[in-house]
Amino acid sequence: MPKKGHVPERTCIVCKRKMPKKELLRFCVKENKIILDRFQKEGGRGAYICSDCLPKIKNLKTKRKLFYSLRIKTNLIEIEYEKQ
């Protein structure tokens, strides 16, 4: 059992800051699309992005980082996400 007060941390793939998992947005691949895993419940590989970096997701450089983190080898995949 994790001790009370222990917060799982993940690193934002864009700015490399470590943050509590809950404060990051998790992206994963589903049906050949990158989706926002809003409840962090989807299986498979995930990539985490902080809310500060989220607006940069449309930049090619950021996209490439996301693709790289998710081991995607094509540029044709769509990114689907909704802001909460």
- Least gap, CB of 81 to Zn ion (angstroms): 15
C-beta of residue 14 within 8 angstroms of C-beta of residue 56: yes
List residues binding Zn ion (CB under 5 A). 12, 14-15, 50, 53
Least Å distance between CB 25 and Zn ion?
Answer: 10
**Residue 5 or 67 having the CB closest to Zn ion:** 67
State how far the alpha carbon of 3 is from the alpha carbons of 7, 9, 26, 41, in Å.
9, 14, 24, 22
Q: Which is nearer to Zn ion, 61 or 73 (CB)?
A: 61
Nearer to Zn ion, 22 or 32 (CB): 22
Alpha-carbon gap, residue 1 to 74, rounded angstroms? 40
Helix (H) or strand (E) holding 35: strand 33-36
Residue 1 C-beta: closest distance to Zn ion, Å: 30
